[in-house]
Amino acid sequence: MSEILVEPIEQYGLSKKVRTQSLFSKIGIVGCGSVGRNLARLVSASGMEVIFVEVSEEKIAMALREIERELDRQIEHWGMTPGDKRIIMSRIHGTLKYEDLQGCDLVIEAILSKSSELTTEIRKGVFKNIERHVDPNCIIATNSTTTIITELASELEYKHRCVSLHVLTTAKDARVVEVVKGLYTSEEVYQAACKFVKLIGKTVVPVEESPGLVSIRIFSVMFNEACEMLMEGVARKEDIDLVMRDGLGLAYGPFEMADRAGLDKVERWMENLYKEFGDMRYKPSPLLKKMVRANQLGTKTRKGFYEYDESGRKITQTIVGE
């Protein structure tokens, strides 16, 4: 008799676990770009209600459309049923008002800041707005990797409730969340945040407070070196990615990964790290800056180091760097 392989359904659709605790039932998200949308989908699929804040009705509608589109892709690949999709979407709601975050057990800031210079001040403002409208026991988190959570918490009344939760989204099958305890973060809040990570089916990676955490610091150096080799003519971008994928076992090569993250976002990560550490390893490559200026940002503009169709699949190769 052949061996039967059993895979957990939680990876693909709704969680079948019966939740006996009520520590997390309503989750808020501020900013529903690519990271916020991924969070909303993960949280709702894990059985929790989601309310996200955006700046316009158009952005709310776009976020809901994109979440639906991703769920449709999962249905196409037999990852879930149409019934699962309806249930997940029924738990996700958008709003223009911070007041609607009342009753949330956890609110995650996931805004897209286009200025590396102003990002900390912008996020501080978001944290203050959140605190005005949630209960004192509501946890406030950031998904940012290059902004220090202690600094974001420093001007709040209840500083102890702030924590950093970096949910990695560049790889579709990423199973880890970097969790950072700031100077003010209480042990109770930290443990509760770790419990939330497990509820959404991810593995906790404890990280000390440091710009870039583990993921972005390592990726930035790898990506810069890949750009340097490309400019030197050591190898083609396709072959550099191939070596990293098939030779070293990464899900994506550095150029593929940068395209998926968004080259403008990668540039901001690296500028923040370079500003913080003053280390040339983190200084954005001239090739990266050239592509950002040309608005060739990766999958979201359908052109970066590679070209993509509307669903984000690679279709042709560009001549950039060749």
pLDDT of residue 22: 62
- CATH code where residue 105 lies: 3.40.50.720
Please state, in angstroms and rounded to a whole number, the distance separating the CA atoms of residues 48 and 207.
Answer: 26
In a domain, 13, yes or no: no
pLDDT of residue 317: 54
**Residue 157 sits in the same domain as residue 47:** yes
**Residue 248 sits in the same domain as residue 267:** yes
Structural domain boundaries, residue 300: 215-315
Please list, in sequence order, all residues whose beta carbon lies within 8 angstroms of the beta carbon of residue 218, skipping any fewer than 6 positions away. none
What does the block give as tokens for 106?
């956890």
In a domain, 320, yes or no: no
pLDDT of residue 117: 62
In a domain, 134, yes or no: yes
Cβ count near 189 (within 10 Å): 22
In a domain, 15, yes or no: no
Least confident interval from 11-15, 225-229, 266-270: 11-15
- Provide the number of structural domains found in the chain: 2
- What integer is the mean pLDDT of 110-125? 82
Pairing verdict, β 92-95 and 49-53: parallel
Amino acid (one-letter) located at 43: V
Give yes or no for residue 28 having a pLDDT over 50: yes
pLDDT band at 1 (very low <50, low <70, confident <90, very high): very low
- What integer is the mean pLDDT of 167-183? 88
**Residue 112 sits in the same domain as residue 202:** yes
**Residue 183 sits in the same domain as residue 101:** yes
**Residue 193 sits in the same domain as residue 135:** yes
- CATH code where residue 280 lies: 1.10.1040.10
Amino acid (one-letter) located at 51: I
Report the percentage of the chain scoring pLDDT > 90.
Answer: 80
What does the block give as tokens for 131?
């605190």
**Residue 202 sits in the same domain as residue 219:** no
Domain end point (choices 180, 207, 234): 207
Domain end point (choices 153, 181, 207): 207
- List Cα–Cα distances, 231 to 22, 215, 269, 272, 283, in angstroms: 54, 24, 21, 23, 15
DSSP secondary structure string, 36-104? HHHHHHHHHHTT-EEEEE-SSHHHHHHHHHHHHHHHHHHHHTTSS-HHHHHHHHHTEEEES-GGGGTT-
**Residue 300 sits in the same domain as residue 235:** yes
